Amino acid sequence: MFSLLVKSKVALVGFCLVGFWITIALFANDCIITPACWANKSLQEPIPWLARYSPNQQFRGEAMQPSSAKHWLGTDRNARDIWARLAVGSRPILLLAPISVILAMLIGGTMGVTAGYFGGILDEVLMRFLDAVLAFPSILLYMVIIAALGPSPLNILIAITVSGSPGIARLVRGLALDLKTRDYVAAAKTRGESSLYIMFIEILPNARGPIIVDGMLRIGYAVFSIGTLGFLGLGLPPPSPDWGSIVNTGRQLIQLGRPESAIFGSAAIAMLVIGFNLISDGLTEESNRYN
């Protein structure tokens, strides 16, 4: 996959967009050398690096300031530096989005390969259950889960994992239906290999290309979903620098002539979503070229 990434200009552009925010997330402050602060267990305030300021630091008398040398992207209505909040806020979104998709791939992939390999009544029951979950609009499913469990990073993770698993399961099932007819699967059966061995050693590794490409696309969707939840007040609880809540706060200031929070918050979400989509598109193009 890395070789395909290097060969695709589209994927490289996407990688640069994503890489920019990964760099910001890693070096926003000194948490990279004091990991306890990632879990809010640090006894002292992290030292700002690329973020320049603490995300919750308030500058007296400087509310709703435009972009300047002191405040690169301006300040919000609470006199907090917008760039600092975006920089530190990139961490939860870059953690939650990939982890939720990986969990959804593990759960959905297991269900999909099981349904596709065994078929019959097991396939029918699993697919009807997944169809029932897919019948709910994703955002509605997020809202139901988080409203029931409460807004927190763990519950956001659960909501996106539950919502994403059925789609991945259907993809893997379709791949398994094709791959189980291949000669190497028949050879494994002849050797007396178990069904688990055939599913997870013979079938899934040979389906990894489409699964990885789909996973990149889903990470972009997860980023957008996390931003949407924050915008609706169902994201990370305040005063966490949640990108969605930054956009929502800025939306209320547009009519006052201070659209910075809304514009820059939306641009940050768009950069990540577009970046992951470009990586997925580039990998798809290069994969098709060699098939």
Provide the 3-class DSSP secondary structure of residue 44: coil
Confidence of residue 128 (pLDDT cuts 50, 70, 90): very high
CA distance 164 to 102: 10
Residue, of 151 and 111, whose pLDDT is higher: 111
- 50 domain-assigned: no
Taking only the tens place, the pLDDT of each residue in 9-25 is 888 999 999 999 999 99
**For residues 194-212, average pLDDT:** 92
DSSP code at position 48: B
Lowest mean pLDDT among 31-35, 172-176, 188-192: 31-35
Q: Is 269 a residue whose pLDDT tops 70?
A: yes
Provide the 3-class DSSP secondary structure of residue 80: strand
Residue entry with tokens 């530096």: 81
CA distance 50 to 169: 40
Output the six-digit token pair for 217.
Answer: 């696309």
- 128 domain-assigned: yes
Do the beta carbons of residue 169 and residue 126 sit within 8 Å? yes
- 166 domain-assigned: yes
Taking only the tens place, the pLDDT of each residue in 105-121 is 999 999 999 999 999 99
Q: Is 286 a residue whose pLDDT tops 80?
A: no
Confidence of residue 8 (pLDDT cuts 50, 70, 90): confident
Provide the pLDDT for residue 272.
95
Which residues pair with residue 75 across a beta bridge? 81
CA 94 to chain centre: 6
- 61 domain-assigned: no
- 67 domain-assigned: no
CATH number of the domain at 213, please: 1.10.3720.10
**For residues 147-171, average pLDDT:** 92
Provide the 3-class DSSP secondary structure of residue 235: coil
Do the beta carbons of residue 289 and residue 3 sit within 8 Å? no
**For residues 80-94, average pLDDT:** 94
Residue entry with tokens 């990885």: 212
Q: Is 247 a residue whose pLDDT tops 90?
A: yes
Confidence of residue 284 (pLDDT cuts 50, 70, 90): confident
Q: Give me the number of domains the chain comprises.
A: 1
Share of the chain above pLDDT 70, in %: 93
Taking only the tens place, the pLDDT of each residue in 187-196 is 999 999 999 9
What phi, psi does 58 have (nearest 5°)?
A: -105, 135
Q: Is 2 a residue whose pLDDT tops 80?
A: no
- How does the average pLDDT of the chain come out, rounded? 89
- 11 domain-assigned: no
Provide the pLDDT for residue 240.
84
- Expressed as residue numbers, the domain containing 197 is 18-26+73-289
CA distance 1 to 290: 12
- 65 domain-assigned: no
Provide the pLDDT for residue 164.
93
- Smallest CA-to-CA distance from 129 within 83, 173, 67 is with 173
Q: Is 288 a residue whose pLDDT tops 70?
A: no
- 46 domain-assigned: no
